[in-house]
Amino acid sequence: MDAGPLPPPLIALHNVSRVYGRGEAEVTALARVDLEIRQGEFVAIMGPSGSGKSTTMNILGCLDTPSGGDYLFDGVPVGGLDRDGRTLLRRNFIGFVFQGFNLLPRTTALENVELPLVYRGVKADRRADLAARALDRVGLAGREDHTPSELSGGQQQRVAIARAIVTDPLLLLADEPTGNLDTRTSGEIMDLLTALNRDQGITVIMVTHEPDIAAHARRMVRFKDGRIEDDRRQPVLAR
């Protein structure tokens, strides 16, 4: 039986370039990049400083716009959206995790996780319920009332991940998510991201410069000089 055509990629970059500055100060951060990522993939993006990996992440997260080419998110041309449209796309469909946890220091874990829901206008009782569920999903049930200073670095990153997934995004962008963590805690965070991808189908795109962290992904895309140098599938780490 014919299963029909595949759905469009969640992420599609077609001939995308990004140029900063003009004249002698002009710098090409991305040069005619083509990249497709389907729903449910776990992709690691690697490359040296200045290779274009961070620029790519900023474009994918609607924090920057291409100088040329097309970016489609779930089949929707992002280039056709105005600033408000890109903000709504980012708010409703994309979660972010950064190297710095970016938690509000005097605010509880629950309140930190609620923040994306506040921006979406969700009522207080519903916010608290969804935030508590997200904290449970990352293994922090019972820590709802703790402030960041009362949590370890790994726990703070778990709060940040809970905040990123509380809206059930289609895409989770993780920028050096273990950069501030020790080896053991880094492994725990990667196990969590792997489980969210495997068990809940969240698409994960992660920038990292560490090969052992990239090894958790099922696909690795390597950038060099603003271009994709290598794009390959890799075996899943044994657990």
Residue 111: give its domain's CATH number.
3.40.50.300
Asked if residue 180 belongs to a domain, the reply is: yes
Query: How far apart are alpha carbons 233 and 203 in whole angstroms?
Result: 15
Strands (E) across the chain are located at 11-20, 27-37, 42-46, 68-73, 76-77, 94-98, 171-175, 203-207, 219-224, 227-233
- The tens digit of pLDDT for each residue in 148-180 reads 999 999 999 999 999 999 999 999 999 999 999
Local mean pLDDT, 10-residue blocks, the chain (239 residues): 68 96 90 96 95 95 95 94 93 93 95 94 95 96 96 96 96 94 94 94 95 95 96 76
Q: What are phi and psi of 228, to 5 degrees?
A: -80, 115
Q: How far from each other are the two terminal CA atoms of the chain, in whole angstroms?
A: 36
The pLDDT, as a whole number, for residue 8 is: 76
42-46 and 76-77 beta bridge pairing: unpaired
Asked if residue 70 belongs to a domain, the reply is: no
Virtual CA dihedral for 214, 216, 219, 221, nearest 10 degrees? Answer: -10
Asked if residue 11 belongs to a domain, the reply is: no
- Cβ(116)–Cβ(138) under 8 Å? no
Asked if residue 28 belongs to a domain, the reply is: no
The pLDDT, as a whole number, for residue 2 is: 53
- Cβ(147)–Cβ(111) under 8 Å? no
- Cβ(113)–Cβ(135) under 8 Å? yes
The pLDDT, as a whole number, for residue 239 is: 53
Q: Reduced to 3 states, what is the DSSP secondary structure of residue 3? A: coil
Q: Which residue range forms the structural domain that includes residue 61?
A: 38-65+81-233
Query: How far apart are alpha carbons 64 and 130 in whole angstroms?
Result: 30
Asked if residue 29 belongs to a domain, the reply is: no
The pLDDT, as a whole number, for residue 237 is: 64
Total of domains in the chain:
1
- Cβ(44)–Cβ(37) under 8 Å? no
For the record, the structure tokens of 29 come out as 């951060």
The pLDDT, as a whole number, for residue 36 is: 97
Query: How far apart are alpha carbons 123 and 104 in whole angstroms?
Result: 20
The pLDDT, as a whole number, for residue 45 is: 97
- Cβ(53)–Cβ(47) under 8 Å? yes
Enclosing H/E stretch for 190: helix 183-200
132: CB partners within 8 A, 6+ apart? 110, 141, 144
Asked if residue 212 belongs to a domain, the reply is: yes
Asked if residue 44 belongs to a domain, the reply is: yes
Asked if residue 20 belongs to a domain, the reply is: no
Task: Note the Cα 226 to chain centre separation in Å.
Answer: 20
